[in-house]
A and B are shown apart, each in its own frame.
Chain A
Amino acid sequence: MTCGVVLFHTNSAALRAEKVLQRAGLVVKLIPTPREFSSDCGIALRFEWQDAARVQQLLDAARVERASIEPMGG
């Protein structure tokens, strides 16, 4: 399954995002930020790419600041 990652500026924002998305029933996991992306924050949030629109919408609604949302290569 194709995954995506949400990248953050701070660890606290990543932890906040995890909570917001888990409460909405999404399957997510905090992982060390893949080095091909920004090194802003040590952890990133992996999710199933099919949920990308939902992830964006939920994070916007909860006003969770993020750097970007990226698809992860195979």
Chain B
Amino acid sequence: MIYLDNAATSFPKPPQVIRAMNDFLERAGGNPGRSGHRLSVEAGRIVYDAREAIAELFGARDPLRVIFTLNATHALNLALRGILRAGDRVITTGIEHNAVMRPLRALEREGVRVAVVPCARDGSLDLSALRDALRPGARLVVVNHASNVVGTILPIAEIARRARAAGAWVLVDAAQTAGVVPMDIEAMEIDLLAFTGHKGLYGPPGTGGLVLGERVDAAMIEPLMRGGTGSRSEFEEQPDDLPDKFECGTPNGVGIAGLGAGVRFVLERGIETIRAHEVALTRALIEGLSEIPGVTVYGTRDAELQTATVSFTVANRRVSEIGLRLDEEFGVLCRVGLHCAPAAHRTIGTFPEGTVRFAASVFTTLDEIRAALDAVRRIVQV
């Protein structure tokens, strides 16, 4: 079996992630942050350690500004709903996932003004078009760091600089880049960073978070939910302290234990090393696919400018047929269709049919890429 669906969720997970989750359930089964006994405190420590590892990974100085959520979508909803009010203007791009577009379209019906800066067919963003869009002012700019369809990496630091100059906050959807592309939220001037735990951070599903940059005043963000936090229990109002303001109800302790171990795996392996490996795989994938007659590869077609996510189509073939044959005949697992990102597929010109998407991880080998390319070659022939 060759797993090339890492943009949906990474597989396999490092053994230390599984060990950490097992250990949490076996040894530290208390409710983190609720009681003062040793099992609760131990569970709390594990959650805190994960917070610290994430802060280190993203260059955040204060681990208490890492808010745990269920996934990147939850983090994006928290930020978008928490910040935007009727009359506010928000700017996004033509290459976003529905995790951004659906909350924005709902907010639009409530009076938020949404501006979409179009992207080029390869998924890249024209910075002068962004500058024009920023001219009337904006409360927020929300962009994905890399497309989940074609992997194109957006120039976040440049986007953030322009947004800040126009007085807007910058929210980055790092679902496809956390753990994969080096990131420093202070150096890149990112105000809010939404990430998922189960892709490039190698944690389990059900984990993710929102990191608040130093410039962000948490008082300006409304929580998505309110409830028990284990703190200020005498009051019936939600506390203002971080991270409790945005984290309530029993957290996914076992998941966060796995996430912490995944992030430590990434830190130990080194993002630069991971990136170099994935660039080599991506280059082989792009070159190999481009040589097959009838295959169209989308995106920048430059491994240095994208993540290890490559989208392609085959002339006169349905993507669903290719996906099924790859699985059944060759054991190559990938994702076909629209990838929850109709806007991105409109931008690259593949709406509504979609594409076949191959996405590698740190565990993918060059041999597996070669075997997958062989499979595509044989499917195209027959």
Q: What is the interface of chain A, defined by CB distance below 8 A to chain B? A: 8-13, 15-16, 18-19, 30-33, 39-43, 63, 65
Contact across chains for B231 and A41 when beta carbons are under 8 A apart: yes
Chain B nearest Cβ from A1, distance in angstroms: 21
Q: Given the complex, which residues of B lie within 8 Å of A43, measured CB to CB?
A: 33, 36, 40-41, 44
Q: Flag if B35 contacts A10 (CB, 8 Å).
A: no
CB-contact partner of B63 in A16, A18, A31, under 8 A: A16
Find out whether the CB atom of B244 lies under 8 angstroms from the CB atom of A33: no
Query: What is the total number of residues of chain B having a CB less than 8 Å from a CB of chain A?
Result: 28
**Which A-chain residue is minimally distant from B33 (CB atoms)?**
A11
Which of chain B's residues have a CB closer than 8 A to the CB of A8?
Answer: 231
In the complex, chain B residues whose CB is within 8 Å of the CB of A9 = 231-232, 239, 241, 244
Q: Given contacts A9-B232, A16-B48, is CB(A33)–CB(B241) below 8 Å?
A: no
Q: Which secondary structure characterizes the binding site on chain B? A: loop
B-side interface residues toward A, CB under 8 Å? Answer: 32-37, 40-41, 44-45, 47-48, 51-52, 62-64, 229-234, 239, 241-244
In the complex, the number of residue pairs spanning A and B with C-beta atoms less than 8 Å apart equals 74
User: B48 near A12 (CB under 8 angstroms)?
Assistant: yes
Q: How far is the CA of A11 from the CA of B52 in the complex (A)?
A: 14
Of the residues B36, B51, B233, contact of A30 by C-beta under 8 Å: B36
Contact of A11 with B234 in the complex, beta carbons under 8 Å? no
A11–B230 CB distance below 8 A: yes
Could you tell me if B64 and A42 are in contact, using CB atoms closer than 8 angstroms? Answer: no
The residue that A40 contacts in the complex, of B34, B52, B64, B231, with Cβ under 8 A, is: B231
Report whether B36 and A33 are in contact in the complex, using a CB–CB cutoff of 8 Å.
yes
B41 partner, pick from A16, A30, A65, beta carbons under 8 A:
A30
Interface centre among A10, A12, A13 (most CB of B within 10 A): A12
**Set of chain A residues within 8 Å of B34, measured between Cβ atoms:** 11, 42
Q: Which of A11, A13, A32 contacts B32 (CB 8 A)?
A: A11
Closest residue of chain B to A42, judged by CB?
Answer: B230
Q: B231 contacts A19, CB within 8 Å?
A: no
